[in-house]
Amino acid sequence: MKVMAYDDLLFAKGELGAWLGRRLRDALAEVAGTNADEILARPHEQISDEIIERYLVPDLCLDQAGITGSVTDQRVDVSHDVMRAVSDRSSPTYIAGSRIMFRVPFTGIPEIFSLKASTFSFNPPRATVLDGYVSVFRDIPADVLESDRDRVVAALRDEVAKIDTYLDYSRRDIAIANTRLQVQVRQAAEGRRAKILADRDTEAILGVPLHRDKEAAKTYRVQPVVRRRVAPVRQVRPQEGFAPEPAITDEDFSNIVTDIVSTTRMFERLAVTYADLREERLRDPILTALHAIYGGATGETFSKRGKTDIYLPWGDDGPVFLAECKWWTGPKAFAEHDLPQLLDRYIVWRDTHTAMVLFIRNKNATAIIAEAEAIIRAHPRYLRDMNSIQGSPAFVLHKDGDRDREITLELITAVIQR
């Protein structure tokens, strides 16, 4: 059998930088290929972290505390040893000897052992990389081992140390590449989300009718139901001379509220995922569900004096529904900022249906919901209560300065507690 004095050359069969570059490109391609609805339905930070975890290069380390050694019989070819009298050097000449081996366990990606880092020498180490071990060996004639055993063992230890030094070179390159990967993947995910939202805003100004996709509604509903396409009706004003304006039916309004409630129930069930997210991050899954069902929902859409969180348009006539999402930060903020922001900054004279989606992380959620309801009833434009939808209270208020123009306000609450 053939006997080898050394094994494979390490860190010499490819460029580590090129390999790391390919991983980065693959990770960015995965971001670019992520489904648009998923980007909006889930926090983009969560998506980017999952992709980063798949492409981040783990530490490659030798476990020198777990090193093991062995000495086995081996026939050694000495045909190339010029210090020996060999009659024919054109063919192997075997004598008795031993194979001295160190086996060092490692953790990390084995492929890195074959790749050259940006720092290197022209005399890289040799070893076998297999099954979680780096094996360094020398085939030594018996007479050499007998006379110089310490030097032979020391040379093997030096080879192991040399491998670790080369791994240090690789680890430096990998650390830089990992940092670059994390930054660029997160930027790419955030950029993709912004681009998709911009596309949604573009859809909002196309002037096409609001269409409700029944199959998409089933996807986003816990209890799927058959729905109809939302059709605007003409709102009738009690006084003579009223010019009819587009509005949605109570049934359609109930459907929209139900779709939002279905999504917020997911927040409550998956509180660990959603409890620490900002309002706009919680808004995105709601917006995605509505967009999938109705085909025109947009976020951060300008209305009156600001950009409302959720906007369902009807052609060129403006929204048939809009909503605002807020974390509960106390009765003063709700009464003096959150509710006025919706009623005064976003709702115009022609709007008829709206909702306040209130996220609550406090333990006394029942008391907070009652307090929020009381604040709405105490509002100077409050007229009366309506029947609740999916357990969410509804109220009728009038437009500022015009008691004949009514708007229905739904208070949707999601209690998101860890």
| Segments making up each domain of the chain, as ranges | 16-188, 205-415
How is residue 30 written in tokens?
């995965």
Confidence (pTM): 0.49
Closest residue by Cα to residue 78 from 8, 150, 5:
5
- Pairing status of strand 133-141 against strand 245-247: unpaired
CA–CA distance from 341 to each of 276, 338, 350, 368 (Å)?
23, 5, 17, 19
Please state the φ and ψ torsions of residue 24, each to the nearest 5 degrees.
Answer: -65, -45
CA–CA distance from 102 to each of 67, 68, 72, 139, 288 (Å)?
7, 6, 12, 12, 58
- The pLDDT score that the predictor gives to residue 297 is 74
Closest residue by Cα to residue 318 from 294, 340, 338, 296:
296
Closest residue by Cα to residue 310 from 259, 362, 372:
259
Closest residue by Cα to residue 257 from 277, 227, 232:
227
pLDDT tens, residue order, the chain (418 aa)? 233 334 688 998 899 999 999 999 999 999 999 888 778 777 788 889 999 999 999 988 999 899 999 999 888 888 888 878 777 888 888 888 899 999 999 999 999 999 999 998 888 999 999 889 999 998 888 888 888 888 889 999 999 999 999 999 999 999 999 999 999 999 999 999 888 877 776 665 555 554 555 555 554 443 333 344 455 444 444 444 333 445 667 778 888 888 899 888 888 888 888 888 888 888 888 888 887 787 667 766 665 556 777 887 765 554 568 888 999 999 999 999 989 888 887 777 677 788 999 999 888 999 999 999 999 999 998 999 988 888 889 999 988 777 778 888 999 999 998 7
- The pLDDT score that the predictor gives to residue 319 is 53
Alpha helices in 237-364 (DSSP H): 250-269, 271-274, 279-294, 331-333, 339-340
- List, for residues 256-310, the tens digit of each pLDDT value: 888 899 888 888 888 888 888 888 888 888 888 887 787 667 766 665 556 777 8
Residues comprising the chain, all counted:
418
CA–CA distance from 289 to each of 181, 295, 313 (Å)?
31, 10, 15
CB 139 within 8 A of CB 106: no
- The pLDDT score that the predictor gives to residue 206 is 55
Neighbours of 186 (CB within 10 A): 18
- Please give the torsion angle defined by the CA atoms of residues 282, 349, 319 and 197, in that order, rounded to the nearest 10 degrees: -50
Rounded-to-integer distance, Cα 174 and Cα 171, Å: 5
Residue type, 311: Y
Task: Identify any residues that bridge with 133 across adjacent strands, giving them in sequence order.
Answer: 105, 130
Rounded-to-integer distance, Cα 357 and Cα 347, Å: 15
Residue where the block lists tokens 């489904």? 35
Cβ burial, residue 66 (10 Å; 0-12/13-18/19+): exposed
Q: Half-sphere exposure of 363 toward its Cβ, with a 13 Å CA cutoff?
A: 0
- List, for residues 153-167, the tens digit of each pLDDT value: 999 999 999 999 999
Rounded-to-integer distance, Cα 239 and Cα 197, Å: 41
